[in-house]
Structure 1
C-alpha cells in the first residue's frame, strides 16, 4: 500500500502573462497578419483627408518660405519707400542714400498708341540705369536692360509683355506712342524679378526708361504715378538690426514724408495674406474630407465589430474582460488608421515637390518645396483624432454586451450605450480635434464658424435620419409588398439609414453650395454688372483739359451719360492721433489702412451713395476740413462721427473731422470713394480728374476701339480702362480660383462617395441574409430589386432635399456675407447635383444586390 502523496509545499513559479498594451499590441498585430480585408474604405478615407491637409499646409509653407527667402528679389532691395503723385525730394533721397545704394522705379497706367492698329492699356514701369539691382530680367532676345531701353534714332527702347504684341498685332522693332514719346518695342518680356510686388494689373507690362517717361509728358501735377525708392544695404551691414535701424530712422527723421514702407520681411504682404486665406480655406476643405471620411471610419468599424463578434464572444467566454476586448481591437483599428495616415502623409509630403516640378516654368512665385515636419505632424494629428472620434463609440458598445447577445447580434442587435469611459474618450478626442482646428487656424473666427456649422450639420443629419426612420415606422402597411418591405428596411435594427443620410446629405450639401456660389459669381460677372456698369473709366485727365475732354466724349459718345470728378491719392496716417499701423481693423476693412487710397472732394453727395448717419456739408462750406466715410468703417475701423482723420496727400498731412457716413453701392462700378472731403480741404491742390462714360445701349466693339484710338491721339496723357476688359481680367482670376475650389472640394466629394460605398458594403451581410431568405420563400429577383430601389431612392431623396436646403443656406452665407455680391437663387446646378447623387446611391446599392441575387441560396444559408 503506497503512502499518500503529499502535496508539494514548494511554491511553483508563477505563470507570466503579458498584460496591458503589450498584450493588446501582440494580439492586434497577430490579427492584422490575416490582411486588411474590410478596411479599404477606412484607409482610403483617412489617407484622402490627411493627404489634402498635409499637401495644402506643406505647399503653403513652401510658398511662405520662398517669399521670405526671396524677399529682397521680390522687393528689389532690403527696403522700399513708395510715394504717390511725386518723386522723393532731394532731402529724402539723400537720407536714403546715407543708408545704402538707392534705385528708383515709377509705375503707372497709360495707353500704348499703335496708330491704325489701335491702342491698348498698359502697365508702365519706368526704371533707372541700375535696374534690376537684385535678380534677373529675362527677355527675348536676351540683352542687357540698359541696351534695350536706350535712346536710338529718336526712339526710346521698350520691353513688352507678349500679350501686348498679340493685342495690337505688333512684332519686335515696331514703335508705339506712350504719351508724347516714341517707344520702340525691342524685346519680349519673359520674366521680371519684382513682378509679385507690383500686384495684379489690368494691362500688359511695358518697361521703359525714366528718361522715356519724362519725355512722354505723362508726369503732370496730380498724375497717378507711384515712385518707389529701393534701398540696398551695404554688404557688410546687411543685417536685420541695420534694416530695423533704417526703418526706425525713416519714421523719426522723415515723419511727414507720407511714404509707404515695406521691408524684405514683408515684400508682398497682400500676396502673403492671400496665401494664408486660401490655405485656410483649402485646409478646411481637407478637414471636411476628413470629417466626411470619419463617417466611413465609423461604418468600417461597425462592420469590423460585426465581423469580429464571434471573436469578441470567444474572448469573453474564456475570461477576457470587456475592457481587454475593446483595448485589443481599438489597438488594431488605430494601427490600421496609422497605416492610412502614413499613406496620406507620404502623398501629402510629395505633392509640393510634384507641383514644383510640373509648374516650375509657370508659377510666377518663389516656390521652393520642402518637407514641413510641423505641418505633417498636424495633419497626422488630425487623422488620429478623427479615427479615434469615429471608432471609439462602435467599439465601446461591445464592452458590456453579454456573450449570448454577441452570438445572436446579427438577428437581434444590442442597443445599449457604451460606458461613460468610452463616451469621455469620445468627447476628449472631439475636443482635441476642435482645439487643433482652432489653434492652427489663420483666422480663428472662420474656424470657429466652420466647427459650429459642421457640428450643426452632423446633428441635423442625425435628426433627419431618426425622423425618416420614425416616419417609415408610422407609415402603416401599404398594400404593395415591395413598398412595405422597403419601409421596413428603412427603420429595422441595423438599418443603413443613418449612414446613408449622413454621407449623402454631406455630399449633396457640398455640391449644392458650390453650385449656388458658382451661378451667383457668373451671373454677377457676366450679366448683372455689365448692364449697369460704365463702359469706360478715364484716368489722369488734366485739369486744364477737362472741358475739352468733356466735348470729346460728347462727340464720340452722343447721348451717353458722362460723370467726371477730381481725384487724388492719399494714405491714412492716423485716426485721433493713433498711427494707422496701431489700429486693429477687421479683416474686411483692413485694406483701407494699407497703402494709398483714391480720394476726392465734392460739394454734393456722390451718385450710388446715401447718407447713413450725420449731415452733409452745405454747398458753399468754408469751415474746418470735413470728410465723409464709408459706413462699413463704423464697425470695421471703430470710427464714429466727430473723429479726427489725418491723411497724407502730396507729402502733406491733412486732418479732417468725420462729418457723416455713407452707404455705398460699390457693385454699380460707378465713381465712388471711401473718403470724400469737403471742397475747401484741397483748395488749390494740383490734381487730375476721373471720368466714366455709360452708354444707353451696348456699344459695338469697333466703336470702343475707335474711341481708344482717337483718345490716344487727342489726349495722350489720359488713360482709358475698358470695363469689359477689366471684368474679363477679374473673371479669369475668379475662374481660376473657382477651378481650384472645385478641385479641392472634389476631395470631400470623393470622400462622400467612398463613405457611401462603405456604408452600403457594411450592410451587405444583412442584405445577403434577407435576400437568401426571401428567395427561399419564393420572392422573385424583380420583387427584391424593386424593394431595394424604393428604399435607396427614399433615403436618397430625403438626404438630397436636405443637401439642397443646406447648400442654399451655405451658398447664401458665402455669397452675401463673404463675397458681398447678390445671391442668385438658381437651383438648376444644385438640383442636377442632387439628382446625380440619388442615382449614384441607387446604382451603388443595386450593384451589391445584383451580386447577392446571382448566387444560389443553399450555399449561403448553410453559413448564416
Structure 2
C-alpha cells in the first residue's frame, strides 16, 4: 500500500515521456478490438439473417438430378417447399453480335420463401402469366448494352428482360459466380433446352418449417431416412458456411496483424520504460539511501507502468469499439451481409488482455535492472544509465509472460496452425534481430580505423555502451519484415493469376457439351480454328461420402485440403493417365479393365485426407454411391490449366451413367481477342446449349477480387508498420539525453554542426541498411513460406518491391534520426556542462 501511495503521488506529475508508450498500446489494442468487433458484428448479422440468406429454414441440394418422389414427399411433409435450379449458360443478344456467361437461377412460383426479391425502379418481377420473362443483374444489361424491355437469347429460347435485380435475398447461399445473375421461371428453363442428361445443374429445395419447427431435427431425419441420397443439407444456422469461414479467416489474419503491432509496440514499451526508469535513477537512488528496499522500488514503478498501460488499453478499447460503429454505417452498401452493430464485451476483453500482457512482458526486463541501482548512483555521471544486468528472476518472468501471450494467441485463434506459425515466426524474428544487432555492433567494433572523423564517430556510436543499435534494428526490422512479406505475397499471387498462364494453355473451357454432340462440336471447332488444340474428357459431379470407411462428416482433414469434402467435386473416368499428371504411388489400370471400380487420387489431397493406395473411397454420383479402391496417387500440374481432376475413375465405374463432356481449346500462339470473340459468337449460334468460359476473363475476375483483398490486407498491415515507426521514434527519443551529452561535448571540443549532422546521418544510414538487409531476407523467406508452404503456390521473388521497401526503411531511419538530432544541435552548452 505504501508503494501504491508513492506511485499515485508520482503520477500526479503527468504522463510526460509516455506519449509513444500510450500510442503503441492504444494502437495495437484498438486494431484487435476493432477487428474482433467487426467480425463479431458480421457473424451475428449472418446468424440473424440466416433464413433469408439460405432462402428458408432448411436447404437441400442435389447435383445433376432432381429429388425423387419419396425425397420430395419428405420435404413437402416438412413444410413449404420452393424448388430452384442453378446452372451456367450463355446469354446472347438477339442479333448475335455479343454474348456473355450468366449464372442462371430458375425458380418456381413459391420463390422466395423468405426475404424479398427487390426490382430496380422501372422494371417488374417475374409474372406467372409471362413465363418467358426474366430479371437480371444490372451488370448483364451493361455488358450487352441492353435496357429493361429488351430481349436476349438463352439456349433455344428468347426471353424478355422484365426488370433489373436490386436485391436478391439468397444470393450469398449460392457462392461466388463468374457471371451476372439471370433469374428465370422453370418454364423458361425448359424452353431453353439447357437441361440435358448429365448437365451440370444444381437443384436446391428450400423449406420453410412451421412455427416452432427445428431445422436441425429435420436435417438429421433427412440424413437418417435417405442416407444414400447424396444431398447436402444446410440449416439457417449455417446459411453460408463459406462466407462465415472467410470472415473468420480474414478476421484471424487481421487480429494477428494487430497482435504483431502490439508485439512490435512492445519493443517501444521496453524502450519507454527503460528511458523512464533511467530518468528516475536519482529518485531510485534517493529512495534506496533512505532505506527503501529493492522490492519496494520495483513495486512502485511496476504500479506506475501498469497504470499507464491501463490508460493506453482504455484508449484503445474506446477507439476499437467506436471504429466499427462508424465504419459499418459507411460500408452497409458493400458488405455481403447486414452487420449487427453494437458493443461486444468478449472481443473487447480479449483485446484488453493482449494489451496488458504485452505491457507486462516487455516491462519486466527493464524493471529487473533497477534492483541494482545503489545510493552511490547519486554521485555518478548523469549520462551513465541503468545497470546492464537483469535479475534472472525478472528475465524468467518476462519469458513466462511472453509464453503466456503466445499461448493465448494460439488458443483464441480460428486456425491454430496458422497462429502457431505466426508465434514461431515472431519469436524467431526477435531472436534473429537480436543476433543481427549484436553482429552489427561486433562488426563496427572490429572495423578498421577510419581517417574521416565523421566515419569514426558514426561507427563508434554503433558499438559503444548504451548504443541505439539493438533498439533500432529490433523496432524497424519487425515492421519491415512484415511489409516485405506482404508485398511479395501479393506479387506472387498476382503473377500466378495474370502472368504465369502457359503459352499453350487453353483459351476456352466449354461446359455442358452433351456426349451426343461432342463429335459435331469438335468438328465445328476444328473448322473454325484449324490450328487449335482440342481436348475433351467426360465429366460428372460427385460428393465424397466416406474415405477409408470413415464418413466424410467424421473426417479431420488437413486444413489446406478440407475443401475437397466441402460440396460436390468434378469427377471423370479415363483408360489412361491424364496429361500433366505423374504417378507417384501405385499403378494405372489396364485399358480394358473390367473389375471392381478403381480411382486415382491427387497425391496432396490423399495426404491431407490421410489415405493411401488400397484404401476405399465412396462418392455419391447421380444419387448412387460408387465405392472404389484407390489404385494410385498422382501429382498434377495445375498451373498448366489443362483438364485434370482430383478423382479419376476407371471407365467401368460409371457404365450407363449420363454425362457431359468438358472441352478445352488452346491456340498455338498468343491469344487473339478478335479471334476469341468470333469463336464465342459462332459457337454460341451453332450450339446454343453449350457454355463457353474464357480463361482470361475468369482469371481477370479472380485477380480483381484478389487485388481488393490484398489492398485491405495492406491497409490493415499499415497498423504494424505505423507501430514500427512509432517504436523507432521512441528508441531515438529514449537516447535523447545521451545524444545531448555527446553533442555538447563535441561542440565544445570544436566539432561543427555539419560534421555532427554528417556523423549522425552515417550512423542512422548504416543501421537502416543493416535492418533493411535483414528485413528483405526475412520478409522474402516468410513470403515463400506462406505462398509455397501454406497456399501451395509457386513463389516469385519481386526484387523491385523488396528494394523499394529497403530504401524506404533506410530513409525513414535517417529522417527520424536527424529530426531528433537537429533539436540537439541547437542546445546551449553551459546548462549541460554544469551538470557533468
Q: Which TM-score applies when normalising by structure 1?
A: 0.95
Distance 2:635 2:703 in 1: 26
Q: Does 1:157 align with 2:133?
A: yes
Distance 1:434 1:362 in 2: 35
Q: For residue 340 of structure 1, what is the aligned residue in structure 2?
A: 312
Distance 2:535 2:231 in 1: 31
Match of 1:218 among 183, 189, 194: 194
C-alpha change, 1:504 and 1:416, in structure 2 (3 Å) is closer
C-alpha change, 1:645 and 1:195, in structure 2 (3 Å) is same
Q: For residue 394 of structure 2, what is the aligned residue in structure 1?
A: 422
Q: For residue 501 of structure 2, what is the aligned residue in structure 1?
A: 529
Match of 1:807 among 776, 779, 785: 779
Q: Which has the higher mean CA deviation after the structures are superposed, 705-714 or 652-661?
A: 705-714
- Residues 59-97 of structure 1, C-alpha deviations (whole Å, 9 max, x = no match): 111111111111111111111110011111122111111
Q: For residue 39 of structure 2, what is the aligned residue in structure 1?
A: 60
Match of 2:717 among 745, 751, 757: 745
The 5 A counterparts of 1:669-708 are: 669-708=641-680
Match of 2:116 among 136, 143, 165: 136
Q: Does 1:468 align with 2:440?
A: yes
Q: Which has the higher mean CA deviation after the structures are superposed, 352-361 or 103-112?
A: 352-361
Q: Does 1:177 align with 2:153?
A: yes
Distance 1:709 1:475 in 2: 72
Distance 1:487 1:563 in 2: 66
Q: Where do 5+ consecutive residues of structure 1 fail to align?
A: 1-21
Asked whether the 8 Å contact 1:137–1:193 carries over to 2, the reply is yes
Match of 2:462 among 473, 477, 490: 490
Q: Where do 5+ consecutive residues of structure 2 fail to align?
A: none
Q: Aligned to 2:269, what secondary structure does the other structure show?
A: helix
Q: Does 1:230 align with 2:202?
A: no
- Residues 263-320 of structure 1, C-alpha deviations (whole Å, 9 max, x = no match): 1121111221111111111111111000001111111111101211121122222221
Asked whether the 8 Å contact 1:131–1:145 carries over to 2, the reply is no
Q: For residue 709 of structure 1, what is the aligned residue in structure 2?
A: 681
Q: For residue 287 of structure 1, what is the aligned residue in structure 2?
A: 259
Match of 1:364 among 326, 336, 351: 336
Distance 1:497 1:638 in 2: 49
Q: For residue 10 of structure 1, what is the aligned residue in structure 2?
A: none
- Residues 196-223 of structure 1, C-alpha deviations (whole Å, 9 max, x = no match): 1110000011111111111111111100
Q: Does 1:197 align with 2:173?
A: yes
Distance 2:371 2:776 in 1: 39
Match of 2:183 among 188, 197, 207: 207
Q: Does 1:79 align with 2:83?
A: no
Q: CA deviation at 1:425?
A: 2.7
Match of 2:556 among 580, 584, 595: 584
Distance 2:242 2:136 in 1: 25
Q: Does 1:629 align with 2:598?
A: no
Q: CA deviation at 1:339?
A: 0.8
- Residues 228-286 of structure 1, C-alpha deviations (whole Å, 9 max, x = no match): 01111101x32xxx323212221222122111111112111122111111111111111
Q: CA deviation at 1:799?
A: 1.0
Aligned length: 835
Q: For residue 643 of structure 1, what is the aligned residue in structure 2?
A: 615
Q: Aligned to 2:560, what secondary structure does the other structure show?
A: coil
Asked whether the 8 Å contact 2:25–2:265 carries over to 1, the reply is yes
Q: Which TM-score applies when normalising by structure 2?
A: 0.98
Match of 2:125 among 122, 126, 145: 145
Q: Does 1:615 align with 2:587?
A: yes
Q: CA deviation at 1:854?
A: 2.2
- Residues 495-527 of structure 1, C-alpha deviations (whole Å, 9 max, x = no match): 101100101211221121122212212222221
- Residues 608-658 of structure 1, C-alpha deviations (whole Å, 9 max, x = no match): 111111111111111111111111133200111111111111111111111
Match of 1:120 among 84, 100, 103: 100
Match of 2:4 among 17, 25, 31: 25
Asked whether the 8 Å contact 2:133–2:162 carries over to 1, the reply is yes
Asked whether the 8 Å contact 2:215–2:236 carries over to 1, the reply is no
Asked whether the 8 Å contact 2:281–2:373 carries over to 1, the reply is no
The 5 A counterparts of 1:596-615 are: 596-615=568-587
Q: Does 1:404 align with 2:376?
A: yes
Q: CA deviation at 1:478?
A: 2.1
Q: For residue 89 of structure 1, what is the aligned residue in structure 2?
A: 68
Q: Which has the higher mean CA deviation after the structures are superposed, 743-752 or 67-76?
A: 67-76
Asked whether the 8 Å contact 1:117–1:168 carries over to 2, the reply is no
Distance 1:503 1:419 in 2: 24
Asked whether the 8 Å contact 1:123–1:205 carries over to 2, the reply is yes
Distance 1:440 1:407 in 2: 51
| Larger Rg computed on CA atoms | 1
Q: Which has the higher mean CA deviation after the structures are superposed, 850-859 or 688-697?
A: 850-859
RMSD: 1.5
